Amino acid sequence: MRIRLRYLFAIAAICVSLTAVQAQTNVRIATEGAYPPFNYVDAKGKLGGFDIDIASAICAVAKFNCTFVAQNWDGIVPGLNAEKYDLIFAAMTATIERRKVVAFSNKYASMPFRFVASNRVADAIAAAPGTGIDQLKTALKGKTIGLVTASTADPYVRKKFEGVSTLRSYQKMSDVLQDLKAGRIDAYADGALGIDATFLKTATGKGYRFAGAPLTDPAYFGTGVGAAARLKDTELLAKVNTALAQILADGTYQKIAKKYFDFDIYGQ
């Protein structure tokens, strides 16, 4: 019995064709699920958070049939381009670097970026000479900084602190915070809102605070948080923008935002 290659292909083709060929009104949305309060997985295993609620509101207005999937942060952009899903709603800042590989909707939130450290290290940073990023560089020279791979702060901190401090890459925010608590790293730079909600405002965050000036270089920190889509899906993004404008105008956005934030998350 000789197995011809064509039989193998035939079997493969049959298997492949048995999976669904679908129409365009289903929209799959990816989020990280590890960045409260924007997105998280609750104790029952369901995805929830600001991103989910805003995305659901947009889907309702744009009449999409939306499903949500969780995806590891460092695989979230490749997954979009590999067509595993169609949109990303994951507190993703629209940076210039990212715009080279994905397209962004209009912004639906603002995210400041800061370093967080223990009070001792934060005091050292405050006492260091200089201002802004230079003050941070002086104070953190020779120390260890933690980053989430592919986060917004990642390329900026890498550029500025390469050779100045030791840099460690982690999979997600909770991993870095655990190591910050354990003292393996001295400081962690990322979106301030996530760190604030899950760490600083909780008992585990006692003895830690934001340190140094906010990171605002526009070349790296972009124009706010937006939904990401593939570069060619301009029509999809246009629909998302229209729906976003509507929920901003009719008060749905404000209602959702109040659930999670006691300040104006949309910003300027």
Partner 1 sequence: MLDGYGPMLFKGLTATLGVAVGAYCIALVLGVLGATAKLEGGRVTKGVAEAYTFVIRGVPELILLLLVFFAIPTLIQSIVRSSSPEFVNFRLELEPFTSAVVALGFIYGASATEVFRGAIQAIPLGQLEAARAYGMYGRVLVVQVALPQLLRFALSGLSNLWLIVLKATALASVIQVVELMRVANLAAGATNKPFTFFLAAACIYLAISAVSLVCIKFIEVYSFRGTEQGAK
Partner 2 sequence: MNFGPVIDGLSVLLQGLAVTLVLTVSTLLFGLLIAVPLAVARWRGPKWLSSLIWCFTFCVRGTPLLVQLFLVYYGSGQFRDELEAIGLWWFFREPWNCALLTFTLSTAAYTTELLRGALMAVSNSQLEAGFAYGFTGLQKLRFIVLPQAFAYALPTYSNDIIFHLQATSFASLITIEDLAGVASVMANKTYLHYEFYLTAAAMYLVVVYSVLFALKRIEKSLRRFLNPG
User: Out of 110, 138, 144, 178, which residue is the one contacting partner 1 (CB under 8 A)?
Assistant: 178
Residue written as tokens 């207005």? 61
Binding site for partner 2 (CB under 8 A): 74, 77-78, 97, 100-101, 146, 149-150, 154-155, 158, 168-171, 175, 178-179, 181-184
Q: CA–CA separation, 158 vs 164, rounded Å?
A: 10
Q: CA–CA separation, 221 vs 34, rounded Å?
A: 21
Identify the helix (H) or strand (E) that includes residue 80: helix 76-81
Q: Which among 112, 116, 111, 94 is positioned nearest to 103, based on CA atoms?
A: 94
Q: How far is CA 76 from the centre of its chain?
A: 9
At 38, list the tokens.
Answer: 């924007």
209 binds partner 1 (CB under 8 A): no
249 binds partner 1 (CB under 8 A): no
Q: CA–CA separation, 227 vs 237, rounded Å?
A: 8
User: Out of 56, 138, 144, 204, which residue is the one contacting partner 1 (CB under 8 A)?
Assistant: 204
183 binds, options partner 2, partner 1, none, Cβ within 5 to 8 A by partner type: partner 2
Q: Closer to partner 1 at the Cβ: 156 or 208? A: 208
34 binds partner 1 (CB under 8 A): yes
14 binds partner 1 (CB under 8 A): no
Q: Closer to partner 1 at the Cβ: 84 or 168? A: 84
Site for partner 1 in 45-84 (CB under 8 A): 45, 69-72, 75, 78-79, 82-84
Determine if residue 251 is left, alpha or beta; phi over 0 gives left, psi from -120 to 50 gives alpha, anything else beta: left
- CB-CB neighbours of 160 under 10 Å: 19
Chain residues in the site for partner 1 (CB under 8 A): 1-5, 8, 16, 19-22, 24, 33-34, 41, 43-45, 69-72, 75, 78-79, 82-84, 172-175, 177-178, 181, 204
